[in-house]
């Protein structure tokens, strides 16, 4: 018998053989295994458990992932060698908008078909194909990195089990009065035709035109000068606001102004937040399309006018400008106002312009009906879990490094925190489990209903929106162990031990897991949060698949 020994060490074949050997012998499984007959929960009271931060299925892993894998594998192997029953739960995230966009792009490129042309059902099937293709690449890469996960417990956020957890969480919160439907100003991406989160909007300094014009007062030749960078939104104004103490304008408070070209009558109001230094010191109020104006309108009880269609063309509220693209309307309206003698001047102006990180086009704030989680009661409990007791030993959750506790407290501060908008206008994700009948009754249930719970109409339709990706990843530490069922895994491995992730998602992910864990399971989902730094590119930007600045 002869063995050929290669002249140089070939890590590729050696490592993959070694990994295969580890995996086949079940050495990544916990030493005390609830799924085996010899399991004895009393033998080791405390297993060591980490739920992997699930990578998105949108592509391949990069250096940033390599770092968290190394840190977590270190902790896992340390505890395994100490003899603790140790479990590292692997899995991946369906990553709503990121995946949907990748699949849409590929469809357009290879088949010249849009998502709408394909239809919802077929499109979702394409997303699943994408997941099967790329999900495996991610898992192979994790294996190549040597990650000693228990692959028999691998989970995906859209799996049947995890989808049932999402349904249970939604219905539970709804029944507790912690989920409601309401109006909200969202960042609308006209190109993607969906709402994008604040996270997905980038603000760039750009030179734009500031338009000065006259807000004529009713039955008068007097006017209030106002400046705007978005003249087309004049058509949606519902007030002109000035500061109480501004002697140039405060004599006009309570009078009526006339919307240019539309001749609609609106009030002149006072508001303390008006910045007297900006532009002319008087401002137009467009609550339907500006977050600050929306707040003012809430305080003053102003009506809200929505101006745009989903593709950012003007709707019927724009009168003669209906159907025009927002930028075409801007030109036409301004030309008409010039002819009517309502313009004053234009000047160049540098300001922050919000653009969609993924689509690149200017984001338009719009009012729409969305689903929300009432966050304050959940945030209070999550604050207490980190604050309570004296010293690290007594707290239920400890954050390392400690300086991030302050960041966490700021995020969850009752004065600051806003209700969580959980609906997204996408197809790839957990569809909202609410059905509507023609009379507008809502039916919410753990199982798909066949009729309206109120009037028993069979004519019911499910809400077309899906849930924010963070809603399902917020359940990750317990949904991956079988919750809502009291499985042997859940009983033994939950609460988990350490949550290790990047500091940039302390609020978006970690805080949500703590809030939902406390509410749904009655326990903090882990005792320690360990935050690592981010691997950045040469320009200091976080590496991300969407930015395309990653190193595999």
Question: Which of residues 6 and 440 has its CB atom nearest to Zn ion in the complex?
Answer: 440
Tokens of 385: 């879990």
Stretch that binds Zn ion, among 80-88, 122-130, 241-249, 446-454 (CB under 5 A): 446-454
Instruction: For Zn ion, give the closer residue by CB, 265 or 439.
Output: 439
Q: Which residue has the tokens 């035709």?
A: 193
Q: Contact between 173 and Zn ion (CB under 5 A)?
A: no
Interface with Zn ion by CB under 5 A: which range of 2-10, 145-153, 215-223, 433-441? Answer: 433-441
Does residue 303 bind Zn ion (CB under 5 A)? no
Question: Is 387 among the residues that bind Zn ion (CB under 5 A)?
Answer: no
Please answer whether residues 337 and 343 qualify as being in contact, where contact means their C-beta atoms are separated by less than 8 angstroms: yes
Min dist CB 433 to Zn ion, Å, is 16
* Complex with Zn ion: residue 323 or 464, whichever CB lies closer: 464
CB 395, min distance to Zn ion, A: 48
Q: Which is nearer to Zn ion, 77 or 441 (CB)?
A: 441
Nearer to Zn ion, 256 or 462 (CB): 462
Question: Does 412 engage in binding with Zn ion (CB under 5 A)?
Answer: no
Q: Which is nearer to Zn ion, 388 or 439 (CB)?
A: 439
Q: Please tell me whether residue 454 binds Zn ion under the rule CB under 5 A.
A: yes
Question: If binding is defined by CB under 5 A, does position 459 make contact with Zn ion?
Answer: no
Q: Which is nearer to Zn ion, 420 or 435 (CB)?
A: 435
In terms of CB distance, is 437 or 466 closer to Zn ion?
437
Does 108 bind Zn ion (CB under 5 A)? Our answer is: no
Toward Zn ion, which CB reaches closer, 14 or 454? 454
What DSSP element (H or E) covers 500?
strand 498-502
When asked if residue 355 is in the footprint of Zn ion (CB under 5 A), the reply is no
Applying CB under 5 A, does 434 fall inside the site for Zn ion? Answer: no
Shortest spacing between CB 464 and Zn ion, in angstroms? 18
Q: Does 314 bind Zn ion (CB under 5 A)?
A: no
Which of these ranges, 358-366, 387-395, 434-442, 515-523, lies near Zn ion under the rule CB under 5 A? 434-442
Structure tokens at 176: 């507790």
Tokens of 501: 């992730």
> Binding residues for Zn ion, how many (CB under 5 A)?
7
Out of 61, 437, 475, 514, which residue is the one contacting Zn ion (CB under 5 A)? 437
Q: Tally Cβ neighbours within 10 Å of residue 15.
A: 14
Instruction: For residue 449, state whether it binds Zn ion (rule: CB under 5 A).
Output: no
Choice from 392, 455, 547, 551 touching Zn ion (CB under 5 A): 455
Nearest to 96 by CA among 466, 363, 434: 466
* Shortest Å distance, C-beta 436 to Zn ion: 8
CB of 444 to Zn ion, least distance (A): 13
The whole-angstrom separation of Cα 453 and Cα 436 is: 10
CB of 174 to Zn ion, least distance (A): 17
- CB-CB contact of 216 with 299 (8 Å): no
Token pair of 420 as six digits: 């969580």
410 binds Zn ion (CB under 5 A): no
Q: Which residues contact 492 (CB under 8 A, 6 or more apart)?
A: 32, 34, 39, 41, 47
Q: Does 439 bind Zn ion (CB under 5 A)?
A: yes
First CA to last CA distance, the chain: 41
Which 8-state DSSP code applies to residue 467? Answer: E
The alpha-helical segments, DSSP class H, found in 53-114 are 63-82, 96-111
Q: Which residues neighbour 257 within 8 Å (Cβ) at sequence distance 6 or greater?
A: 215, 216, 217, 218, 224, 240, 265, 266, 267, 268
Q: Which of 441, 527, 532, 545 binds Zn ion (CB under 5 A)?
A: 441
> Residue 313 or 443: which CB sits closer to Zn ion?
443
Q: Compute how many other C-beta atoms are within 10 angstroms of the C-beta atom of residue 190.
A: 21
Nearest to 45 by CA among 526, 491, 396: 491
Smallest separation (angstroms) from Zn ion to the CB of 183:
22
Among residues 223 and 435, whose Cβ is nearest to Zn ion?
A: 435
Look at the chain and count its residues. 552
Query: What does the block give as tokens for 82?
Result: 């100490």
Out of 186, 262, 268, 452, which residue is the one contacting Zn ion (CB under 5 A)?
452
Q: Which is nearer to Zn ion, 300 or 444 (CB)?
A: 444
**CB of residue 178 to Zn ion, shortest distance in Å:** 23
DSSP per residue over 263-316, as a string? --EEEEEE-TT--TTSTTS-EEE-TTS-HHHHHHHHHHT------B-TTSBB-G
DSSP 248: T
Q: How far is CA 191 from CA 4, 6, 266, 368, 541, in A?
A: 60, 56, 32, 17, 24
Q: Please give the residue ranges that form the binding site for Zn ion (CB under 5 A).
A: 437, 439, 441, 452, 454-455, 457
């Amino acid at each position: 018998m002869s063995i050929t020994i290669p002249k140089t060490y070939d890590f590729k074949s050696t490592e993959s053989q070694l990994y295969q050997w580890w995996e086949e012998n079940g050495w990544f499984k916990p030493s005390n295994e609830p799924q085996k007959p010899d399991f004895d929960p009393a033998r080791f009271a405390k297993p060591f458990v980490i739920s992997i931060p699930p990578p998105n299925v949108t592509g391949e892993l990069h250096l940033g992932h390599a770092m968290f894998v190394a840190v977590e594998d270190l902790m896992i192997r340390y505890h395994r060698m100490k003899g603790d029953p140790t479990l590292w739960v692997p899995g991946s995230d369906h990553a709503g908008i990121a995946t949907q966009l990748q699949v849409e792009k590929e469809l357009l490129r290879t088949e010249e078909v849009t998502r709408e042309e394909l239809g919802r059902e077929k499109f979702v099937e394409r997303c699943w194909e994408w997941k099967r293709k790329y999900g495996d690449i991610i898992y192979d890469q994790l294996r190549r990195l040597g990650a000693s996960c228990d692959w028999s417990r691998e989970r995906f956020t859209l799996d049947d089990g995890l989808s049932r957890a999402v349904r249970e969480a939604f219905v539970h919160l709804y029944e507790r009065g912690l989920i409601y439907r309401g109006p909200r100003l969202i960042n609308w991406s006209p190109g993607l035709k969906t709402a994008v989160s604040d996270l997905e909007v980038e603000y760039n300094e750009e030179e734009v035109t500031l338009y000065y014009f006259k807000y004529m007062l009713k039955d008068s030749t007097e006017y209030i000068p106002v400046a705007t960078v978005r003249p087309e939104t004049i058509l949606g104004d519902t007030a002109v606001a000035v500061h109480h103490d501004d002697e140039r304008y405060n004599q006009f408070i309570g009078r009526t102004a006339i919307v240019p070209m539309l001749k609609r009558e609106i009030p002149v109001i006072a508001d303390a937040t008006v910045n007297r230094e900006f532009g002319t010191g008087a401002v137009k109020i467009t609550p339907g399309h500006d977050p600050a104006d929306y707040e003012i309108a809430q305080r003053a009880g102003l009506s809200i006018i929505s101006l745009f269609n989903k593709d950012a063309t003007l709707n019927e509220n724009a009168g003669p400008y209906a159907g025009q693209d927002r930028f075409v309307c801007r030109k036409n309206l301004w030309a008409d106002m010039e002819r009517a003698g309502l313009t004053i001047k234009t000047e160049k102006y540098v300001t922050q312009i919000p653009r969609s990180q993924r689509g690149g086009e200017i984001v338009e704030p719009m009012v729409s009906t969305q689903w929300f989680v009432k966050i304050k009661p959940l945030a209070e409990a999550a604050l207490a879990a980190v604050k309570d007791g004296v010293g690290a030993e007594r707290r239920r959750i400890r954050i390392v490094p400690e300086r991030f506790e302050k960041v966490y407290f700021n995020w969850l501060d009752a004065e600051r925190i806003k209700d969580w908008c959980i609906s997204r206008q996408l197809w790839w994700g957990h569809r909202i489990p609410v059905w509507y009948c023609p009379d507008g009754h809502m039916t919410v249930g753990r199982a798909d209903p066949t009729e309206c719970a109120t009037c028993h109409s069979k004519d019911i339709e499910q809400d077309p929106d899906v849930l924010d990706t963070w809603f399902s990843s917020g359940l990750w530490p317990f949904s991956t162990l079988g919750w809502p069922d009291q499985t042997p895994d859940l009983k033994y491995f939950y609460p988990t031990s350490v949550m290790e992730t990047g500091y940039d998602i302390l609020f978006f992910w970690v805080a949500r897991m703590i809030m939902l864990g406390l509410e749904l399971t009655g326990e903090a989902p882990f005792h320690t949060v360990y935050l690592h730094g981010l691997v950045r590119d040469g320009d200091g930007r976080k590496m991300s698949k969407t930015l395309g600045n990653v190193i595999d």
